[in-house]
Structure 1
Amino acid sequence: MKLPALALLTSSLLLLNGCELDTGTSPAHYYDFRQGNQQWQAGFSDYPTDNATIYQLQSGVRNLPTGFTGQGFYLQGMNRSDDLFMYIKRKITGLEPATRYQLSVSVRFLTDAASDCMGVGGAPGESVYLKFGYASQEPQQSGYYLNVDKGNQSQDGSNARVIGNIASGEISCDSDKFASKIVTGSGNTPLQFTSNADGSIWVFLGTDSGFEGLTRLYYRELELRFTPL
């Protein structure tokens, strides 16, 4: 099953690593993690780095779990801070310099969090909020928090928007299986930014968790669409 992305991805050329589909007005950047990390990097924030081991943080391209084939970009974290943010990030180049854009995303991932389940601090699915955003500099932890405004849990930030959660209705609360989920959107308020003078911008996608337990995700495919304003 392919992404029902913001633009239909039908060309076999899109299977190339980090391919850019230039429609003339709205370039789309498509990534398939079966092809490796494609310059995406993992990051974590909103936790004390001097006691990181108890957070069980893991990341990297891995084989998918039982029932699926191929690879995905895996992220794992035990949310002991009740506010763990774990994300992937990439620097995007080739945009028009100092130009205003609107950014939207479509992402396919695997989740083991079922819908309507009880959890400590919040639900393991609905209380783990999927966010995407941008930054003019590399997004990374600075002290305790992320160095750009991503908002907190269900709240948008000036640099990020909530686009959904990781809950799946295809698995049960007592299941140890994963299910595939697709989330597409730009948030309740469109995410807009101005590209850097060299035509670059950093983009990040991740989860802001209110569930005080273990979250495991495999990002499989994603598409970023930049619309000039």
Structure 2
Amino acid sequence: MLKKMMAASAVALRSGTRPSLMFTCRHSTSASSAVNSFLLRSLKEHYLEITRMAAPPKVSPPSSFSIIVGALDGNGPVLTKNYGKEEINISVMRLANIVRGGGGGDDDDEINQLFLHVTVSKLEQKDNLHFLCGLYPDALGIHSVSMRPKAESSGSGFLVVPSSYNGPTFEDLDEKMRDMFHNYIEERGVNESLFPFLQAWLYVKEHRNLLRWFRSVGTFIYEPKNGKKD
């Protein structure tokens, strides 16, 4: 079709006439339809490929934690537990999504490096105690400790820039204090034992997000012949 269009245009230019507007519009519509068709086919192929991916083995979180209802469809905390009068909430994402271009590792390495946002809250306190941590299969490291207003740690998203002083760099604290902070969160069950569940949970979440993306993009592009969408 494109070759025919170019040939017709060349003849028209040699004869001193212009291709009709109707012809141009018809070609434009046809080309757009072809692009949509190829794109929809590709989206469907990828969608089906993802549906055939093997699901990870089902893993339960440590018994003291509960999975927050609806966490797979949101950006807020994944796990919660009560510790005395405290409430512990944990959010997670790939560390590679935070530190871009750091080492060029492959996907297997990236899913083995998780980024945790741990919130310790007390009902009578207006601020929460926040720990930003790196979680690995065999270790957990603290990146920072800060106090943040509760309004800054809502379920709308856990990567929030604090509005006040964020505290000293964790590495600038003396070794004894760093060890005590590690003991503090370990007493609350925040350690490498969380890794198997959170890793599997991320696989499931990313799988669902991919399916949702391919489906929603395909639905947007799809144009039935009668011009009406279901």
Structure with the bigger RCO (C-alpha within 8 Å, sep 6+) is 1
TM-score by length of 1: 0.28
Q: Which has the higher strand share?
A: 1
Task: Compare the two structures and name the one with the higher helix fraction.
Answer: 2
So what's the TM-score if we normalise by structure 2? 0.28
